[in-house]
């Protein structure tokens, strides 16, 4: 098919490659767009947006396609697919990295490490940079260097009317503020410019594993210990059945466990000292903490979350881990219905909390933890509803402890949950940016921040 001014590949259901192109990371998402516009650059993005608007087609935007809600693909609309756009440029002199919107974090990590640099990213290397950045970006370096969004210096954006602009210092600063956590509501970012930091090539990182019946003891110790640890250390707790990975002895695979993974992004000797109290706690089943390449640690979780499995998430941000919260997490882990399901507890604080709450659209900076409940199962598993119900029940148990929610961990949960990601004052500020850059809500297939009702009425008057 022909899209005027478009130089990429425009795929429909009749074309080779369409079936593969409509698939996203979450295999539970099964949608059939009318057109998939695989873009080679910003001009293609602008042409695809114009084509869809002229035909009143819903627009979905795909970078890495890793969002659990599956908003990177739509039913019957047009997908602006940026995944072919994978260029990365590193400037070691200014410690900046420019990356096109289709990059995965593995692309940026590899390019940066050639110069001993890294941008704070997530915990899975096949995640796309676009969605993670625009929602905030929590990961292994955040407590030392801030969120991914905190390190976003500038962005190149195609707006709803097809205009191409740059936002950064002195240029569309309100838009840049909104892009730092407000998601894909305001335009399609075609390139990101990041601040990078000296990291690696080696970090002290890896998991320690205890049996699940030790979880209360481990988590109560952990609660106290992390109050004093430096920002160089980020930890993530996982409550699960031990995965079937080559590094896990067969005798442990499938056993209910508590896993505490660490990454110390500082001198290895300092990390050894900081981690010693944790590593001597109780009797671990396995201790895999070791000096390892930063790139290796970035990909350590990749085998546990492959493309095509089915995923359902529930999430909440909380204060410190109270005894009641620890009890609920442990009890529901014992009831896991799928051997692939698990719960993650991200340690926040450090540099994340040191930035002013209103400096970016990302919210709830004073939360101590993000808890992400993951129901995971294979395609064709007849227990899919049972697995979702497990996640919902665990979320109900932790909901009284909730202080907010991280927008990147939202599924299809409705407008009130989106508002909960920001709070009323920040949501209103985001709406003002939406009014300015997308008053007709062209970019609605996301965790949507709609234009204010008054702005919608004004638009209708002019049509």
Tens-place pLDDT, residues 370-417? 999 999 999 999 999 999 999 999 999 999 999 999 999 999 999 999
Q: pLDDT > 90: what percent of the chain?
A: 97
Cα separation of 391 and 175, whole Å?
A: 35
Cα separation of 379 and 382, whole Å?
A: 9
Average pLDDT over every residue of 303-328:
97
Ramachandran sector of residue 396 (left: φ over 0; alpha: ψ -120 to 50; beta: rest): alpha
Pair 133, 149: CB distance under 8 Å: yes
Q: Where in the chain is the domain with CATH 3.40.462.20?
A: 202-409
Res. 324: pLDDT tops 60: yes
Task: Specify the pLDDT at position 462.
Answer: 54
HSE, side-chain direction, 13 A CA sphere, residue 58? 15
Average pLDDT over every residue of 182-193:
98
Q: Tell me the sheet residues that pair with 377.
A: 310
Cα separation of 123 and 135, whole Å?
A: 15
Task: Specify the pLDDT at position 1.
Answer: 77
Cα separation of 307 and 177, whole Å?
A: 32
Task: Specify the pLDDT at position 37.
Answer: 98
Q: Where in the chain is the domain with CATH 3.30.43.10?
A: 9-81
Pick the closest to residue 100 from 78, 128, 120, 77 (CA basis): 128
Cα separation of 5 and 56, whole Å?
A: 18
Could you tell me whether strands 369-377 and 310-318 are parallel, antiparallel, or unpaired per DSSP bridges?
A: antiparallel
Question: pLDDT grade, residue 359 (50/70/90)?
Answer: very high
88-198 folds as 3.30.465
Res. 174: pLDDT tops 90: yes
Q: From the CB of residue 328, how many other CB atoms can be counted at a distance below 10 Å?
A: 19
Cα separation of 346 and 366, whole Å?
A: 13
Question: pLDDT grade, residue 218 (50/70/90)?
Answer: very high
Task: Specify the pLDDT at position 415.
Answer: 96
Question: pLDDT grade, residue 296 (50/70/90)?
Answer: very high
| Alpha helix (H) residue ranges in 169-214 | 173-179
The burial of 339, by beta-carbon neighbours within 10 Å (0-12 exposed, 13-18 middle, 19 or more buried), is given as: middle
**Where do the DSSP E strands lie in 103-174?**
117-118, 152-158, 164-167
Q: From the CB of residue 334, how many other CB atoms can be counted at a distance below 10 Å?
A: 11
**Where do the DSSP E strands lie in 21-138?**
35-38, 59-62, 78-81, 88-91, 96-100, 117-118
Q: What is the pLDDT of residues 17-40, one digit of tens each?
A: 999 999 999 999 999 999 999 999
Q: Where in the chain is the domain with CATH 3.30.465.10?
A: 88-198
Q: What is the pLDDT of residues 74-86, one digit of tens each?
A: 999 999 999 999 9
Enter the CATH code of domain 202-409: 3.40.462.20
Query: Residues with Cβ < 8 Å from 437, sequence gap 6 or more?
Result: 159, 160, 175, 186, 187
Question: pLDDT grade, residue 463 (50/70/90)?
Answer: low
Res. 459: pLDDT tops 90: no
Res. 458: pLDDT tops 90: no
Task: Specify the pLDDT at position 456.
Answer: 55
Pick the closest to residue 394 from 346, 348, 345, 446 (CA basis): 345
Q: What is the pLDDT of residues 94-105, one digit of tens each?
A: 999 999 999 999
Task: Specify the pLDDT at position 437.
Answer: 98
| CATH classification number, 9-81, choose in 3.30.43.10, 2.30.40.10, 2.30.110.10, 2.40.50.140 | 3.30.43.10
Cα separation of 77 and 73, whole Å?
A: 8
Q: What are phi and psi of 458, to 5 degrees?
A: -65, -40
Task: Specify the pLDDT at position 51.
Answer: 98
Q: Tell me the sheet residues that pair with 312.
A: 375
Q: What is the pLDDT of residues 117-163, one digit of tens each?
A: 999 999 999 999 999 999 999 999 999 999 999 999 999 999 999 99
Pair 422, 361: CB distance under 8 Å: yes
Q: From the CB of residue 251, how many other CB atoms can be counted at a distance below 10 Å?
A: 9
């Amino acid at each position: 098919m022909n899209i005027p001014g478009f130089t990429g590949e425009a795929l429909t259901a009749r074309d080779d490659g369409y079936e593969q192109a409509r698939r996203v990371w979450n295999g539970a998402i099964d949608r059939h767009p009318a057109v998939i516009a695989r873009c080679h650059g910003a001009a293609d993005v602008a042409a695809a947006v114009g084509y869809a608007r002229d035909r009143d087609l819903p627009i979905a935007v795909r970078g890495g396609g890793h969002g659990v809600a599956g908003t990177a693909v739509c039913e019957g609309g047009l997908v602006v697919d940026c995944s072919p756009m994978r260029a990365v440029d590193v400037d070691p002199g200014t410690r900046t990295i420019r990356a096109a919107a289709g990059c995965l974090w593995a692309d940026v990590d590899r390019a940066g490490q050639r110069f001993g640099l890294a941008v704070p990213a997530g915990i899975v290397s096949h995640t796309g940079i676009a969605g993670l950045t625009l929602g905030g970006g929590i990961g292994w370096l955040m407590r030392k260097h801030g969120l991914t969004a905190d390190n976003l210096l500038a962005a190149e954006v195609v707006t709803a009317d097809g205009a191409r602009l740059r936002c950064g210092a002195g240029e569309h600063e309100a838009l840049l503020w909104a892009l730092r956590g407000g998601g894909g509501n305001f335009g399609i970012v075609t390139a990101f410019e990041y601040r990078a930091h000296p990291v690696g090539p080696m970090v002290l990182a890896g998991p320690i594993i205890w049996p699940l019946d030790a979880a209360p003891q481990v988590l109560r110790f952990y609660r106290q210990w992390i109050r004093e640890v430096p920002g160089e250390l980020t930890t993530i707790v996982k409550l699960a059945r031990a995965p079937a990975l080559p590094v896990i002895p067969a005798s442990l695979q499938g056993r209910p466990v508590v896993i505490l993974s660490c990454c110390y992004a500082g001198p290895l000797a300092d990390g050894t000292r900081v981690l010693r109290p944790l590593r001597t706690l109780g009797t671990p089943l396995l201790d895999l903490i070791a000096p390892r390449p930063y790139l290796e640690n970035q990909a350590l979780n990749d085998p546990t979350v492959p493309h095509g499995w089915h995923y359902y998430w529930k999430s909440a941000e909380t204060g410190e881990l109270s005894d009641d919260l620890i009890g609920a997490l442990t009890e529901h882990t014992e009831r896991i219905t799928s051997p692939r399901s698990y719960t993650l507890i991200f340690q926040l604080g450090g540099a994340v909390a040191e930035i002013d709450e209103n400096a970016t659209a990302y919210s709830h900076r004073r939360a101590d933890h993000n808890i992400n409940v993951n129901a995971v199962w294979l395609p064709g598993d007849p227990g899919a509803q049972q697995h979702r119900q497990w996640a919902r029940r665990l979320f109900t148990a932790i909901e009284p402890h909730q202080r907010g929610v991280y927008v990147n961990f939202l599924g299809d949960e409705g407008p009130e949950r989106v508002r909960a990601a920001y709070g009323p004052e920040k949501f209103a500020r985001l709406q003002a940016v939406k009014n300015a850059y997308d008053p007709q809500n062209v970019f609605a297939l996301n965790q949507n921040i709609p234009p204010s009702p008054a702005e919608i009425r004004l638009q209708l008057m002019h049509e």
